[in-house]
Amino acid sequence: MKLIGSTTSPYVRRLRMWMSEIEHGFEHVDIFNSADRARLVALNPTLKVPMLEDDARIISDSGAIYGYLTKKLNKTELSWEQANLLTLIDSVNDSLVQMFLLSRSDIDTNADNFYFRLQRERCDTIFTELDKAAQKGAFVQWDYVTISLFCLLDWVSFRERYDYSGLSNLVAFHQSTSDNKEAQATDPR
C-alpha cells in the first residue's frame, strides 16, 4: 500500500498522520513539476492528490481513501456529528486551496466580485463554527476529524491564507496540537 501526494497538501498530510500506525509507503509528487504531473495524470483522472495505490487499485481523494481504509482495516466509521464537522473542514479547505491556486495564477483573490466574496464569507462562517465546536470539546479525541482540523489550521498558517487569530479556541487548539509527534514528522516547513 502506498500513499501518493504532496508534502504540503493538507489533505495528504491528514492521511499521513492518520495512517502513521498503518504499514504503508509514501511517494512525494510535486503537482507543479512536469514529470510528477505526468505520473499523476497517468494514474488519477481527478488530477488531484492524495491518491492511494493498494494492489491494483487506485483510490482518489482523501475522503474516499479514509472510507476505503476504514472498511479494509475494520476501523470505526465517523458518527454523523463527526461527518458534519469534516464537511465544514473540507468546505473551507477547498475554498482556501482554490483561492491559493488562483493567486498562484496571478489572479487577485481580494477582488470584490461574487465568487471571491462567497469564498471569504464561507471561510468566516465556517471558521466561526469550528471555533464554537472547539469550545464545546469536539476536538479532544485525536482522530481523523481532529487531525483534519489541525492540518487545515497548520496549512492556513503555513500558506498565510486566513487570519483566525481572533478565534481563541482554534488558536488554543492549534497551539496545543502542534507538538504532536505526527504533526512534527509531517511538517512541510
List residues bridging with 58 in a β-sheet: 53
| 144 DSSP assignment | H
Is the N-terminal amide bond of 50 cis, ω within 30° of 0?
yes
Residue 42 in this model has a pLDDT that exceeds 90: no
72-76: list long-range contacts, CB under 8 Å, 24+ apart: 73/22
**pLDDT, tens digit (0-9, with 9 covering 90-100), for 59-80:** 999 999 999 999 999 999 999 9
Average pLDDT over residues 138-157: 98
User: Which pLDDT score, from 0 to 100, does residue 159 have?
Assistant: 96
| Least confident among 48-57, 90-99, 155-164 | 48-57
Task: State which amino acid sits at residue 76.
Answer: T
Please state, in angstroms and rounded to a whole number, the distance separating the CA atoms of residues 118 and 93: 14
C-beta neighbour count of 14 within 10 angstroms? 29
Residue 2 in this model has a pLDDT that exceeds 90: yes
Write down the pTM of the prediction: 0.95
